Amino acid sequence: MKLLKGISSTILGLVSLFGLGCASAVDYNVGLTLGQTHTFNHLHTDTYDYSGAFADTGTFELTNASSVNVSITDNELTSVVDLLSVSAFAVYDSNSNVLFSTSDLVTTVIPLSDLAVGVYTLQFVGSADGIFGAAYDVTVSAVPLPAAAWLFGTALLGFVAFSARRTV
């Protein structure tokens, strides 16, 4: 048990030492096509005396028009203290129009439907509190129209055509 505490203390000390002033903006860029998923993850670490404000941005590009799911997970390092304070999370299109915005970060899934081909920006603003820092993941998934929807649509069309033929 003492060995585990010693290892934990050493790791926390190194994280605090190297994480000093690490609360700067981080930019992520990724191309996204149908059926692909990409996760933006980041660990913000600060020493006890620093505020740790950060503003991270990420961009993803859709090469096919589709729906997109954006899921946000607050990866707390402890359940006792809330280490990540979120002031804003937003998704923008290429014309800087806000498609979605929230300040509530628990575990959130944001469905964005009927997005055109283009570049979209994610912005995540907040602060990491305490000596442990905080971590979060933002996962972006391009959701293709399932094959079952096409089959259902053609079956429905066939049913309507068959019904119309019987009534005439």
The pLDDT, as a whole number, for residue 155 is: 61
Domain containing 138 equals: 2-167
CATH number at residue 65: 2.60.120.380
77-84: long-range contacts, CB 8 A cutoff, minimum separation 24 = 77/132, 77/133, 77/134, 77/135, 78/132, 81/129, 81/130, 81/132, 82/129, 83/128, 83/129, 83/130, 83/132, 83/133, 83/134, 84/44, 84/126, 84/127, 84/128, 84/129, 84/134, 84/135, 84/136
Give the model's pLDDT for residue 116. 81
Structure confidence at residue 163 (pLDDT)? 61
- Cα separation of 159 and 75, whole Å? 49
Number of domains in the chain: 1
pLDDT of residue 101: 83
Each of the 168 residues of the chain gets a pLDDT tens digit; together they read 444 444 444 443 333 333 333 333 444 555 555 555 656 555 555 444 345 677 778 787 777 777 777 776 665 555 445 556 667 788 888 888 988 887 766 556 777 777 788 888 888 787 766 555 556 667 777 666 555 555 556 665 665 665 655 555
